[in-house]
Amino acid sequence: MKTNISQSDWKNRAAEVLPAAGFGNFDPSLILREGKGSRIWDEDGKEYIDYLIGSGPMILGHGHPEVLDAVQEQLGKGMTFFTNNAAGIELAEVLVEAMACAEQVRYVSTGGEADMYAIRLARAFTGKDKILKFEGGYHGMSGEALMSLAPKTLVNFPQAVPDSAGIPESVRDNMLIAPFNDTDFVTSLVEEYAGEIACIIVEPLQRLIPPAPGFLQTLRDLATKHGIVLVFDEVVTGFRFAYGGAQEYYGVVPDLCTLGKIIGGGFPLAAIAGCSEIMAHFDKAVVGDKSFTFQVGTLSGNPVASVAGLKTLEILRQPSAYEEIKKNGERLMQSYATHLSAVGVPHQIVGEPMLFDVVFTEDPVRDYRDTLKNNAAQAKAFNASLRQSGILKPDSKLYAHLALSVEDLQQTDEAIATAARQL
């Protein structure tokens, strides 16, 4: 909706009714008005090339005409029902076909919900309580997830550090924290606590950090050996790294995965997917009262989100879709490397072509503590310069996507060159 109200006025209004003047997601000083393809506009009409893309869902760009047509058709039939609907069932079939670990699917509305229920499901299946996660790993907003996400105080592993007020001490007691990519440590930890661990939950690509060779397979082997549920949080990587997600891209299959972002085509939709033996704990008739994992949601499997997801995934199945995303990402990575190297700024390009960013350090980045070596002042100045040049990206990642044009990539290259020179 176009308005004649300025960004400044909207910010003042937001400050009156929103804590910290925002939704809690992104810089509240930026108030976006509309998006089309690879471009977005704020309330003052300033135009940006969008590498935030709604924090990942808009892999086709904004307002893709085929997705809009599918949504418009569904809107005429109904927006939500709280019952099964054909689009949701069809989408579940597509997800099961795509994801190697998936035999059944249960819908929720957000990725954080999916992660929370995956943890609960693992506890119901194993009868164990402890959860192993990796320092710096993001798995939503549950009490378990907000342990050692971004700890300001670094403590000895496997102690957990809460990232939020309001989390009971008892949650921390059931968490084990390990450094990402440290095969020896996680092996020792699992061997010590094997009889107590319900699940290992991991982002296959942790924020930006790729798994070291053999690391994910070690997790798979440990989980199999000790009867632990291995959960891949694929809310970000699902249908981004490959049509079959990170489990296809890296060649390791978990017991459960969580999905979100892309599967809703820009609408709120997420899912837990996995083997039927574990997913059966959502079915009281199969597992009985004591093992039943209760889950309902008003908008779970929403038909509008489902048709948007179905059309998005149909487009991603077209030949060369993922090759195009990867090619765009590789060109952007090369721009970063070329221009930062030209001015002698120490840096590491961290991630995969589909999702990456620069970390301003001379040292390799293998885990969360390595990211703390980032020169924060340089990163802030670099991102500010990019935004001034009409490039919008998150503070610590960049999403490549299908809507990018040659012109977009050239403009971005020039913006990166300018930002590098200013450093």
Residues designated as active site: 138, 233, 261
Counts for the chain of helices (H) and strands (E), in that order: 15, 14
Q: Is 94 helix (H, G, I), strand (E, B) or coil?
A: helix
Kindly tell me the sign of the dihedral angle through the C-alpha atoms of 137, 322, 218, 351. Answer: negative
Element at 105 (helix H, strand E)? strand 104-108
Task: Look up residue 210 and give its DSSP letter.
Answer: P
Q: Pick the closest to residue 250 from 187, 218, 204 (CA basis).
A: 204
**Do residues 206 and 235 touch, judged by C-beta distance below 8 A?**
no
Give the max Cα distance, the chain: 65
Contacts of 396 (CB under 8 A, 6+ apart): 207, 208, 357, 379
- Per-residue tokens: 418: 């300018």
CA dist 107 and 96 (Å) reads 13
- Per-residue tokens: 316: 């991603």
Residue 288: CB atoms within 10 A of its CB come to: 10
Task: List 175's β-bridge partners, or say none.
Answer: 131
CA dist 231 and 174 (Å) reads 17
CA dist 234 and 237 (Å) reads 5
Residue 349: CB atoms within 10 A of its CB come to: 17
